[in-house]
Chains A and B, each alone.
Chain A
Amino acid sequence: MFKAKLITTLLASALYATAAAAAWVPEKPVEFVVASGAGGGTDIFARTIQSIILKYKLMNAPIVVLNKGGGAGSEGFVYGSASLDDAYKLTFGTNNEYLLPLVAKMGYTADMLVPVTALALDEFLIWVNANSPYTDAKSFIEAAKKGDGLKMGGSQSKDTDQTLASMISEATGAKFTYIPFKSGGEAAVQLAGAHIDANLNNPNENLGQFKAGMVRPLCVFSSQRMAAGPKVSKDMAWSDIPLCKDSGIAIDNYQMPRTVWLPAKVSPEAIAFYTTMLKKVSETPEWKSYIEKTSQSDRFMTGDELRAYTKQDAERATAVFKREKWIVQ
Chain B
Amino acid sequence: MENFGNLMDGFGIVFSFYHFGLMAAGVLLGILVGVLPGLGAPNGVSLLIPLTFTMDPISAIILLTSMYWGALFGGSTTSILFNIPGEPSSVATTFDGYPMAQQGKATQALTLAFMSAGIGALVGVTVITVLSGWVTQFALKFSSPEYFAVYLLTFCSFIGMGSSSPFKSVVSMMLGFAFAAVGMDGMAGNMRLTFGITELIKGISFLVAVIGLFGLGELLQTMEEGLRFDGIHARIKIRDVWEAILSLPKHWMTLLRSALVGCWMGITPGGPTAASFMSYGLAKRFARKKDGFGKGEPAGVVAPETADHSAGTCAILPMLALGVPGSATAAVMMGGLMIWGLTPGPMLFIERPDFVWSTIASMYMGNVMAVILVLTTVPMFAAILRIPFSIIGPMIVVVCFIGAYQISGARLDLWLALVFGIAGYLLKKLDYPIAPMVLAMVLGDKTEDAFRQSMIFSKGSLGIFWTNSTLVATIMTLAMLLLFWPLIGRLVGRLRQQRTPN
Contact = CB atoms under 8 A, between A and B. Distances in A.
**In the complex, A touching B (Cβ < 8 A):** yes
Interface in A134-167: 148, 151, 156-159
A37 interface: yes
B31 interface: no
Interface in B296-328: 322-325, 328
B1 interface: no
Contact of A37 (B140, B185, B187, B331): B331
B46 A65 contact: yes
Given A65-B46, A67-B46, A55 B53 contact: yes
Given A79-B409, A103-B189, A70 B201 contact: yes
Interface of A: 37-40, 43-44, 47-48, 50-51, 54-55, 65-68, 70-72, 74-75, 78-79, 103-108, 148, 151, 156-159, 177-182, 185-186, 188-190, 192-193, 195, 204, 207-209, 211-212, 214, 289, 293-294, 326, 328
A190 B143 contact: yes
Contacts of B189: 72, 103-104, 156-159, 180, 326
Contacts of A185: 323-325
19 contacts: A38-B46, A39-B335, A47-B49, A51-B53, A68-B202, A70-B201, A71-B202, A72-B184, A72-B186, A74-B184, A78-B201, A104-B184, A177-B456, A189-B140, A192-B322, A195-B457, A204-B338, A209-B345, A211-B346
A180 B187 contact: yes
Q: DSSP majority for the A interface?
A: mixed
Contacts of B346: 208-209, 211-212, 214
Interface residues of B, number: 54
A207 B325 CA distance: 16
Contacts of B330: 39
B408 interface: yes
B6 to A, nearest CB: 18
B187 A66 contact: no
Interface string B178-189: 000001111111
A107 B50 CA distance: 32
Nearest 8 A/B pairs, CB to CB: A208-B345, A70-B202, A107-B198, A39-B331, A157-B189, A158-B189, A195-B143, A212-B346
Given A178-B456, A180-B186, A208-B346, 20 more contacts: A38-B42, A38-B335, A43-B335, A47-B49, A47-B335, A50-B50, A68-B202, A70-B183, A71-B191, A78-B201, A107-B201, A108-B198, A185-B323, A189-B139, A192-B322, A193-B143, A195-B143, A208-B347, A212-B346, A326-B189
A75 B331 contact: no
Interface in B341-364: 341, 343-348, 350-351
Contacts of B348: 208
Nearest to A43: B335
B335 A44 contact: yes
Nearest to B269: A189
